Structure 1
Amino acid sequence: MSRVEALRCPLQEDLSGFVGLLRRLQVPHRVSEERDSQVLWVPAGSLAEQVRALYLRYPQGADEAELPTPAQPARPGFVAQLRASWMTALVLLATLVVAAITLLGENFTTLRWLSFQDFHIQGEYIYFQPWLASLEAGQWWRLVSPMFIHFGVLHLTMNGMWYWELGRRIEARQSGWALLGLSLLFGLLSNFAQFWFGGPSLFGGLSGVLYGLLGYCWIFQLLAPTPAYALPRGVLAMMLIWLLVCLSGVIDTLGFGSIANAAHVGGLAAGCAAGLIGGALARARR
Structure 2
Amino acid sequence: MRGRFLLPVLLLGLAWAQEVFDQVLFSGNWNLPMGPGLPWWGVLSAPFSHSGFGHLLSNSVIFLVLSWLVLTRGVRDYLSVWVAVLVMNVPIALLWPTRSHGLSGVIYGLLGYLLLIGWIEKKILPIVLSLVAFWLYGSAIMALIPGISPAGVSWVGHAGGFMAGLIAAWTQGNDNPKAT
In the alignment, what sits opposite 2:102? 205
1:267 aligns with 2:166: no
Residue 82 (structure 2) pairs with residue 179 (structure 1) = no
Cα offsets for 1:162-207 (capped at 9, x unmatched): 11011112222112x542442243134136325523x1x3321011
Give 2:95's aligned residue: 196
| Alpha-carbon distance between aligned partners in 1 of 2:142 and 2:16, rounded to the nearest angstrom | 28
1:163 aligned to 34, 47, 63, which one? 63
Larger radius of gyration: 1
Rate the CA distance shift 1:191–1:236 in 2: closer, same or farther, 3 A: farther
Task: Say if 2:146 is the partner of 1:241.
Answer: no
- Tell me how far 1:249 sits from its aligned partner: 4.8
Preserved CA contact (<8 Å) 1:194 1:260: no
Higher strand share: 1
Please list every run of at least 4 consecutive aligned residues from structure 1 whose deviation after the TM superposition is greater than 4 angstroms: none
Match of 2:20 in 1: 100
- In the TM superposition, 1:1-286 aligns within 5 A as 83=3, 85-103=5-23, 106-108=27-29, 110-111=30-31, 114-116=32-34, 130-131=37-38, 134-135=39-40, 141-175=41-75, 178-190=77-89, 192-193=91-92, 195-197=94-96, 199=97, 201-224=98-121, 225-227=123-125, 229-232=129-132, 233-244=134-145, 247-249=146-148, 251-252=150-151, 258-282=152-176, 286=180
Q: Aligned letter for 1:149?
A: S
Q: Pairwise CA RMSD of aligned residues?
A: 2.8
Listed one character per residue, the Cα deviations across residues 129-174 of structure 1 (whole Å, up to 9, x for unaligned) are x34xx45xxxxx3221011111133321121111101111222211
**1:203/1:250 CA distance change after superposition, 3 Å:** closer
Structure 1: gaps spanning 5 or more residues: 1-79, 118-127, 136-140, 253-257
Aligned-residue identity in percent:
19
SS at structure 1 position matched to 2:171: helix
Tell me the TM-score normalised to structure 2 length. Answer: 0.80
2: CA distance, partners of 1:227 / 1:115: 36
Unaligned segments of structure 2, at least 5 residues:
none
Instruction: State how far apart, in whole Å, the 1-side matches of 2:124 and 2:8 are.
Output: 20
Decide which structure has greater helix share.
2
Query: Matched residues in 2 for 1:163 and 1:94: separation?
Result: 13
CA–CA distance in structure 1, aligned partners of residues 80 and 11 of structure 2: 12
